Amino acid sequence: LATYSYKHGRGKEKGALTYSDLSHTAEECETFQFLADILPKKILASKYLKMLEKEKRDGEVGEDEDEEDDDDEDESVGEDAGS
pLDDT > 50? residue 78: no
Higher pLDDT, 3 or 59: 3
Percent of the chain past pLDDT 70, that is, above it, reads: 72
pLDDT at residue 27, rounded to an integer: 86
**For residues 26 and 41, is the Cβ–Cβ distance under 8 A?**
no
**For residues 20 and 39, is the Cβ–Cβ distance under 8 A?**
no
Nearest Cα neighbor of 24 from 7, 3, 41 is 41
Mean pLDDT calculated for residue range 36-49: 83
Tens digit of pLDDT for each residue in 56-66?
A: 888 776 554 44
